[in-house]
Structure 1
């Protein structure tokens, strides 16, 4: 994968992953916040509804207790009880009319409602006392108001005593019923449990709750508990189907009626489901799927359901418990006294947010539930998720565009792939300058700089290689010239030693001639022969001196050539030094460029540092060579001057040798005329001795200069060897590099 693509992937990862994490965290936070908010809302609604229900029961308790303590209620209870007791028995016609009334308005409705076999109208009427039949006949059968409105009847005009008592209290209790929404209000005498008054006038009116057809009803239970209470207390009996009200679920509240601490009876309220359902079905804050409802300990509804009006109204729940029972986790926990919130499945099997709590009032234990469908509760979250998804997509597009721009900006200064550049740098570090570069004219950054630097480095190393070869050749030539000069010096030294030996012999002969002048005549012939020998030796000396002069001239010429070669070497060394300076500068520039490239240019920085070290070594070596060449030039100048002096001395020796030849010739002549020229021979011998001494001295000087010249040539030889060694070192350094397909 290319660097640009890797950078793009990295930048996308750096941008998208945090954005995704932030998005998920935001959604999670929003979900938690929304869940918490919804739960808080449900809890608030639950508590509001719970307070309203509790307040309703508490108000009802206060109302029934207050009403039971009103003196007129006690008076009505006493007068109605007395009037009921004194009622005349009903006629047979009355019994049959009641049977028809029951059949039309009670048993047919009961049979249709719960689809169960119930007692017949005749059986129900048979359980009525004569007084009950008389009372129901007067206020039910003969009441012109339709069923449900029988309570509007103020007086029957058939039962005078009861009618008076009824008329005295009925308006008041009907007002209480209407004002507070009770379904019915009862006055029940204490002894037989007879319902001596009913505000709504249903079939329970006038019946005994101890022996009559409704003795197992909720009203009978309320009466039984109510008459056990003390004055100022009240009791609530839970909902149950009440057959007198067509089996509609009904709850009852009862409070004893005392007068002068004597129990007269019980005041009872039948509170309908409507008021509780009105409280619980208030829709504010519940949306489309939210609801609050009440459930009894039996799992049946105590308020109508908003979401399942078919099976889970209070009436439907009691009529068909198999379908109307609510047995969710929330209900179970609330009935067990727990209070909390949770996500559960509701009675329809849908996931809901549920806030539940127990509700206790007057001995009742119900569950109050506030729930909302998860889908609706998190609908805002779904919308938020969609919005966040759109924002995330837009952000991703922006991140991708930004990543592409940044990837281009980051990779453009590099100009190439780091792996390729690293491979190129490693190849150059290994000494191969023939590495191939992309010749794209649009190349940028470090890659283009590396290409130009490699090109310049190749040219520089090629120049160094050429200069090194020239330097090595010059060193070899200088070494050969030095060897030849040493050979000439050795030959010159040998000839000089021969001349010195001859001159010593000549000096001895001259001394002998000088000391033997008294016997010259006798030894003239021998002297002549010896002089002839001396003449030959002197001729040889002259020839040797001439040869010495010629060789010294040749040595001088070669010394001059050596000086010129040393000057040429100095020029070459200056060129090498300039190249080394340029190399050092290029290496420094390369190191700077590599440092700018960071980690990607580290390998090239190593190469640049190696090249700069090599350039510095070259500078040091050329400096040492320049110093040696300077010493060589100085020694060569001294040698040349010594050679000039030696040549002059040799010339003088040659001239004097020729003079010696002339003297020897004169000696020959003197020997021939020895008799006459003894004194001249002695003088000539002395002169010869002096000349020989001088020649010996000159030869000693020549010997001395020859030794000095040899030492100088030894130094030149050593300098040449050092120059050759430095050339080999430089060649070894440059041999690491391949230029133009050849090994340097």
Structure 2
């Protein structure tokens, strides 16, 4: 009985096992097929997502490329506006400076042709040896010529004998009574007088800014004009040009923003007007005293006779838009950051 039951159990187990194997196989195959379907679906889904993301990224960069094109156009427009504005400002200030010097020359011309001044030259020259009488005459002529300083922005006005002695000065500094060619040798006054005395014409001659000892060694320029009567030279007249008037013209910063400025530079690369951005090192006085030169691309180009507008590094090593040109052997520049 025991053996029969045992055999029965074995057959039962065998049949159950035989039934389970196909089920397991089918289950495995179903699972594999299901996994394959899931993998395919996941792959397809990821592929679709990737395409969507790719299109999104591509569209984003195309839009940014378009934005860059717009920004470039805006930047070009703003640059052109800055160029045009600086050019207009520089042109205006150059014209103001030209007009100022032209008006000064016209005034000298009018004075040289004035019979009262011609008579003053003769009287002062003849009485110069009589120092007491000569000095009394100085005060008398102040009523005629003192107002020239305030009217035209001159620092001083001079009457000079035919031999080159300063026989009248409004300010009465130490140059009064001195012979220009010897006592003021090397000064801008001597330079202008030398040109005027050697010239066959009666035109005004200009001596560029240099430190002038009789005026506390402050940089000063001079214009000297011969005075002729019936074609004969009887003497000269001159004015001393301070920095103040040029600073007033160039220091007007209307339309130049917070960092724009206009300035003058001489042939020696020294300042001829005070810097707005760095007055400590690049005022006229500091430039001459410390030898602080301006040798920017704009200045170097202007010294070659060129004019234009460029993006350059200025004398403070900042990138600026600079409009430049030459005027009366001085370099005029307007910079804007």
TM-score, normalised relative to structure 1: 0.38
Q: Match for residue 323 of structure 2? A: 355
Partner of 2:270: helix, strand, or coil? coil
* Structure 2: distance between partners of 1:320 and 1:34: 38
Task: Select 2:178's aligned residue among 207, 220, 223.
Answer: 207
Deviation per CA, 1:148-182, whole angstroms, max 9, x where unpaired? xxxxxxxxxxx23542x324422221111111110
Partner of 1:311: helix, strand, or coil? helix
The Cα shift of 1:254 comes to 1.0
The Cα shift of 1:255 comes to 0.7
2:54 matches 1:22: no
CA contact (8 A) 1:182 1:272 kept: yes
Task: Select 2:251's aligned residue among 281, 306, 311.
Answer: 281
Q: Match for residue 190 of structure 1? A: 162
**Higher share in helix:** 1
Q: Match for residue 334 of structure 2? A: 370
Distance 1:80 1:372, change over 3 A: same
Q: Match for residue 266 of structure 1? A: 236
Partner of 2:146: helix, strand, or coil? helix
Distance 1:325 1:20, change over 3 A: same
The Cα shift of 1:189 comes to 0.5
* Structure 1: distance between partners of 2:113 and 2:189: 20
The Cα shift of 1:328 comes to 0.8
Q: Match for residue 714 of structure 1? A: none
Q: Match for residue 298 of structure 2? A: 330
Deviation per CA, 1:626-671, whole angstroms, max 9, x where unpaired? xxxxxxxxxxxxxxxxxxxxxxxxxxxxxxxxxxxxxxxxxxxxxx
Distance 1:264 1:179, change over 3 A: same
2:259 matches 1:293: no
Runs of 5+ consecutive residues of structure 2 not aligned to the other structure = 1-42
Q: Match for residue 81 of structure 2? A: 37
Partner of 1:160: helix, strand, or coil? helix
Mapping of residues 203-602 of structure 1, within 5 Å: 203-212=174-183, 214-229=184-199, 232-321=202-291, 324-360=292-328, 365-373=329-337
Task: Select 2:138's aligned residue among 166, 185, 200.
Answer: 166
CA contact (8 A) 1:81 1:189 kept: yes
CA contact (8 A) 1:80 1:162 kept: no
Partner of 2:252: helix, strand, or coil? coil
The Cα shift of 1:332 comes to 0.4
The Cα shift of 1:262 comes to 2.1
CA contact (8 A) 1:231 1:258 kept: no
Distance 1:211 1:11, change over 3 A: closer
* Structure 1: distance between partners of 2:197 and 2:294: 34
The Cα shift of 1:320 comes to 1.0
The Cα shift of 1:55 comes to 1.3
Count of aligned residue pairs for this structure pair: 293
The Cα shift of 1:7 comes to 4.6
Deviation per CA, 1:298-348, whole angstroms, max 9, x where unpaired? 000011100111111111111111xx2101111000011011111111111
* Structure 1: distance between partners of 2:68 and 2:146: 63
CA contact (8 A) 1:76 1:166 kept: no
The Cα shift of 1:216 comes to 2.5
**Higher share in strand:** 2
CA contact (8 A) 2:264 2:273 kept: yes
* Structure 2: distance between partners of 1:231 and 1:4: 92
* Structure 2: distance between partners of 1:245 and 1:166: 19
TM-score, normalised relative to structure 2: 0.83
CA contact (8 A) 2:167 2:176 kept: yes
The Cα shift of 1:230 comes to 5.2
Point out the structure with max Rg over C-alpha: 1
The Cα shift of 1:11 comes to 4.1
The Cα shift of 1:358 comes to 1.4
* Structure 1: distance between partners of 2:109 and 2:141: 17
The Cα shift of 1:207 comes to 0.9
Partner of 1:188: helix, strand, or coil? strand
Runs of 5+ consecutive residues of structure 1 not aligned to the other structure = 88-158, 374-744
User: Superposition RMSD on alpha carbons, in Å?
Assistant: 1.7
> Following TM superposition, where does structure 1 have runs of at least 4 consecutive aligned residues deviating by more than 6 angstroms?
none
Q: Match for residue 59 of structure 1? A: 103
* Structure 2: distance between partners of 1:245 and 1:161: 23
The Cα shift of 1:228 comes to 3.3
CA contact (8 A) 2:193 2:205 kept: no
* Structure 2: distance between partners of 1:221 and 1:312: 25
Partner of 2:150: helix, strand, or coil? helix
Deviation per CA, 1:29-55, whole angstroms, max 9, x where unpaired? 111111111111111111111111111
CA contact (8 A) 1:76 1:168 kept: no
Partner of 2:198: helix, strand, or coil? coil
Deviation per CA, 1:209-267, whole angstroms, max 9, x where unpaired? 1332x232211222222233456511111111111111111100111112232211110
Partner of 2:181: helix, strand, or coil? coil
